[in-house]
Amino acid sequence: MPGAGAACLYVKPIGLVVSDIFREVESDLRREQALALWQAYGKYVIAGAAVIAGGGLLVTLWLTYQAGQRAAQSDRYIAAIESIADDPSTMSADVFADLADGASAGYRALARFQEAALLAEAGSVERAVEAYDRIAADGGVDRSLRDLARVKAAYLLADRSNPDELRARLAPLLTETNPWRLAAKDAIAFAYFTVGDDATARSEYEVLALNPLTPPNMRLRANQMLAILGPAPAGSQSAEDAGPSTANPAGPQTGAPMSDDASATGGEPAASD
């Protein structure tokens, strides 16, 4: 054993020394490869990151702008409604026509409904129908609101339009799955009644009276019209005698509310763009 003053030295085995050298060389190679890759593609990475960050910023700015626009449109619409409620003498369809111009789809439809309702109340039926037709032709508006506009226009035209032309006008609503089908048939039935075609009017009203999906107010009116029309002449076939396929052609659908009980938007919720 060495003496007390002798220093103890530790010598690594040759295998460990070689292993350390290889690790250092491998680490240097990885650094050099990473540096080479960064020098070759680093600018593209930076450019891609800038594009992603810039795109995210643009999206955020656009969404913020849209939210601000919707808020401004909402404020203008509410202010117009409140001004009418406070002072009915200020009611003007032009106010809502101006609101509709440039508004998003949801507030555009709401403003058009109000415009058409005020025009109809003022006796300007043709202009009211035109306003409803603009809603019906607006592809940005929800389908249910476009169909409601067609129904409301049909009620205005029911006593002044050819029934066959009115039926053609409402043809898109007469499918079994359309929730406004019964309201459309109600308008068509009244159109036939106004021109004196009692047989067709009676047939349409019988369908509405016998259909279990007909809303109560619409069924009540159908029964009242049937009482006015009276029974069918002897030998003619009513909807009740024709069997269930004629009495209930509507199929599984939800009955639409009557036009005269609906609000300016027919009770539909406001649509969002």
Residue 221 identity:
R
Q: In the numeric block, which tokens belong to residue 28?
A: 């240097």
How far apart are the C-alpha atoms of 203 and 163, rounded to whole Å?
14
- Tell me whether residue 229 is exposed, middle or buried, using C-beta atoms within 10 angstroms of its C-beta: 0 to 12, 13 to 18, 19 or more: middle
- Number of Cβ within 10 Å of residue 200's Cβ equals 17
How far apart are the C-alpha atoms of 90 and 93, rounded to whole Å?
10
pLDDT of residue 152: 96
- Number of Cβ within 10 Å of residue 123's Cβ equals 8
pLDDT of residue 15: 54
Tell me if the pTM is above 0.85. no
pLDDT of residue 101: 81
Instruction: From 176, 175, 118, select the one nearest 152 (Cα to Cα).
Output: 118
- Tell me whether residue 119 is exposed, middle or buried, using C-beta atoms within 10 angstroms of its C-beta: 0 to 12, 13 to 18, 19 or more: buried
Tens of pLDDT along the chain (273 residues)? 455 444 555 555 555 555 666 566 667 677 777 777 777 777 777 777 777 777 776 666 656 655 666 676 666 767 667 766 666 655 678 888 888 787 788 888 888 998 999 899 889 999 999 999 999 999 999 999 999 999 999 999 999 989 999 999 999 999 999 999 999 999 999 999 999 999 999 999 999 999 999 999 999 999 999 999 998 877 665 554 544 444 344 433 333 444 444 433 444 433 444
pLDDT of residue 216: 95
pLDDT of residue 244: 41
pLDDT of residue 197: 94
pLDDT of residue 221: 95
pLDDT of residue 153: 96
